[in-house]
Amino acid sequence: MSAQSSGFKEIEHTADWELEIWAPDLAQLLTQAARGMYWLMGARLQDAPRVQREIKFNGVDAESLLVSFLQELLYLFEGEGLGFDQFELSIEDGQGSARLVGAPLESVNKEIKAVTYHNLSIREGRRGLEARLVFDV
């Protein structure tokens, strides 16, 4: 295991896709979850035009904030064909906002249908905040 302060890796899962993610704080954990989701999809962004979006999301706890954030990204993928590679997140009192920079998607190997709550828990670990996240494909 690398000594990275944040990251993600794919976990073997029977029917769906699962990621293990870690980061020093919740905003960076959500960013790594987004990067991991796009990586699992095999998403390739076009070089241009670059686009920006501002989104808001909310949740009653860290887990629901994570799912809400990723659902917003999937909505932009499905509705506008956009993917993002730059994330600036702010989270306070169950409310989140993000400034996203990305581009139209050039290609995707496999689509994710949904982000699930299956066995989802965010906890303090040796690498900071850690979580496992399952995607329905």
Give the CATH number, domain containing residue 79.
3.55.10.10
**In-domain check, residue 49:** yes
Residue 81, domain member (yes or no) = yes
Q: What angle do CA 37, 93, 123 make, to 5 degrees?
A: 50
| 31 in a structural domain | yes
Q: Classify residue 99: in a domain, yes or no.
A: yes
- Report how far residue 21's alpha carbon sits from residue 68's, in angstroms, rounded to the nearest whole number: 16
Alpha-carbon Rg for the chain, nearest whole angstrom, is: 14
21 within some domain = yes
- Structural domain contains residue 128: yes
| Residue 130 contacts residue 22 (beta carbons within 8 Å) | yes
The pTM is what? 0.90
The count of structural domains within the chain is 1
Structure tokens at 24: 């020093």
Residue-range definition of the domain harbouring residue 14: 7-136
Each residue of 46-80: pLDDT tens digit? Answer: 999 999 999 999 999 999 999 999 999 999 999 99
Determine the pLDDT at residue 6: 86
Dihedral sign computed on CA atoms, order 52, 26, 91, 133: positive
| Residue 1 resides in a domain | no
CA-nearest of 105, 98, 97 to 80 is 105
**pLDDT tens sequence for the chain (137 residues):** 445 788 887 776 566 889 999 999 999 999 999 999 999 999 999 999 999 999 999 999 999 999 999 999 999 999 999 999 999 999 999 999 999 999 999 999 999 999 999 989 999 999 999 999 999 98
Contact status, residue 18 vs residue 133, Cβ threshold 8 Å:
yes
Asked if residue 110 belongs to a domain, the reply is yes
